[in-house]
């Protein structure tokens, strides 16, 4: 889960990272009030879960509260890389002398957290890595000891940071590292960390990616999830413990297991079809989760056929079959469905489905072929009507 800039910066600040004064506005009036409070010279920043907002015109300086109001009015409602701007952060404008990149991430190959920094801040770090990789400095952090001052100094020196800023740099780096550890983040990034005109460091931007698997122990962070940034289907999937990713095709898939789901998508493509989604209903799928999954799949208007591919292990074929039938009673649809069941109690499951006049298949290849054909037919019927 990614947090918004304003949320990330507040969490960084709680651990000692200096950030500009600022507040969030949802309309131009509010933006104006905040700008007045901050003295007029502000930066208006779109809060959307994507980078490169500056280049897209989603970060603008304002010289007065009036200007902040106008700019906020323009930025609110703007589309940035597919995200609609619903909030803007109004920050006190910084007097920027230099821009540094600073991040904490996990280096899996070393099984450690890593601090990554560069004097080429402000711009896309991927671009720096490609064009001037020598400008990126890395140090690994011992989890038992934490970030040592000599490590911060080494990085500060390598970046060419003036030595009177080294102490402050260690404070910022330590704060960012603490925030990174405390939130079970996979990435905590400040880009840019700026050197101000009066010779201090200030985190002007912030990004924090939290490991979803750790959210259960951070209810306060889980609450920060911005529901506006998720599609309704994604929200419903998450609430029902399903993994769902919408794609562009027309064949909906309901599969248990991520690997099997990927294989199913490949086989659909092999037979000339195009999957409408990735959906893993997980192990021990209940009738309720099958119903929720079917509802989500069918809410996508592009779906012209649905392929179920269920491998019974702990999940029993007969239970899945009953689940599908219950689901179909609740979710009315004329979209053709085909079920491929294998494993524990699969025969019983297929019998139940056949009795309910449902199309079943024994092999995945057969199921894919049936689904692709059924989708074509359904498409023609829809076109004709
Ligand atoms: P991003 O483009 O999504 O990464 O958004 P940033 O928050 O990093 O803003 C983009 C750029 O706007 C920064 O690299 C800065 O150069 C500039 N910027 C952001 N805040 C301020 C500010 O307070 N004052 C000035 N002068 N420039 C700013
Ligand atoms: Mn940035």
pLDDT by residue (tens digit) across 78-110? 999 878 999 999 999 999 999 999 999 999 999
pTM of the model: 0.77
Active site residue 101: yes
Instruction: Give dist(CA 251, CA 167) in Å, integer.
Output: 58
Which of 268, 267, 284, 276 has its CA nearest to residue 233?
276
Ligand in nearest proximity to the CA of 93: 1
Q: What is the DSSP letter of 144?
A: T
Q: Is 254 left (phi over 0), alpha (psi -120 to 50) or beta?
A: beta
- Minimum mean pLDDT among 142-156, 199-213, 222-236: which range? 222-236
Q: Is the pLDDT of residue 284 over 80?
A: no
The tokens of 384 are what? 């004709």
Q: How far is the CA of 205 from the centre of ligand 1 (A)?
A: 7
The per-residue pLDDT for range 105-128, each reduced to its tens digit, is 999 999 999 999 999 998 889 999
Active site residue 244: no
41-68: average pLDDT: 96
Q: How far is the CA of 374 from the centre of ligand 1 (A)?
A: 52
Please indicate whether residue 54, judged by its CB atom, sits closer than 6 Å to ligand 1. Answer: yes
């Amino acid at each position: 889960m990614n947090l918004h800039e304003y949320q990330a910066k507040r969490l960084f600040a709680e651990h000692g990272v200096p950030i500009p004064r600022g507040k969030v506005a949802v309309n131009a009036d509010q933006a104006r009030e905040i700008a007045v409070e901050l003295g007029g010279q502000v930066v208006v920043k779109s809060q959307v879960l994507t980078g490169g907002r500056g280049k897209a015109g989603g970060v603008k300086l304002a010289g007065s509260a009036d200007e902040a109001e106008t700019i906020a009015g323009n930025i609110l409602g703007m589309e940035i890389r597919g995200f609609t701007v619903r909030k803007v952060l109004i920050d006190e404008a910084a007097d920027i002398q230099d821009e540094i990149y600073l991040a904490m991430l996990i280096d899996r190959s070393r099984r450690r957290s890593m601090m990554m920094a560069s004097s080429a801040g402000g711009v896309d770090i991927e671009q720096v890595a490609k064009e001037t990789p020598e400008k990126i400095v890395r140090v690994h952090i011992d989890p038992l000891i934490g970030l040592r001052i000599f490590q911060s100094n080494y990085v500060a020196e390598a970046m060419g940071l003036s030595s009177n800023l080294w102490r402050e740099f260690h404070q910022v780096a330590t704060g960012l590292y603490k925030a990174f550890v405390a939130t079970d983040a996979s990435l905590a990034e400040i880009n840019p960390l700026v050197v101000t005109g009066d010779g201090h460091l200030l985190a002007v931007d912030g990004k924090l990616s939290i490991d979803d698997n750790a959210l259960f122990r951070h209810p306060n962070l889980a609450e920060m999830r911005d529901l506006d940034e998720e599609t309704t289907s994604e929200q419903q999937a998450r609430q029902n413990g399903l993994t769902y990713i919408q794609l562009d095709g027309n064949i909906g898939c309901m599969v248990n297991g991520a690997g099997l789901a990927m294989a199913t998508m490949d086989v659909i493509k092999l037979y000339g079809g195009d999957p409408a989604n990735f959906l893993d209903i997980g192990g021990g799928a209940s009738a309720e989760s099958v119903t929720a999954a079917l509802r989500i799949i069918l809410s996508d208007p592009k779906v012209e056929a649905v392929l179920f591919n269920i491998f019974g292990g702990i999940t029993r074929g007969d239970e899945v079959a009953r689940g599908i039938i219950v689901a179909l009673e609740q979710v009315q649809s004329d979209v053709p469905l085909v079920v491929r069941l294998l494993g524990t109690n699969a025969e019983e499951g297929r019998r139940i489905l056949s009795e309910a006049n449902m199309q079943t298949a024994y092999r995945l290849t057969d199921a894919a072929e049936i689904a692709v054909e059924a989708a074509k037919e359904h498409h023609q019927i829809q076109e004709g009507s």
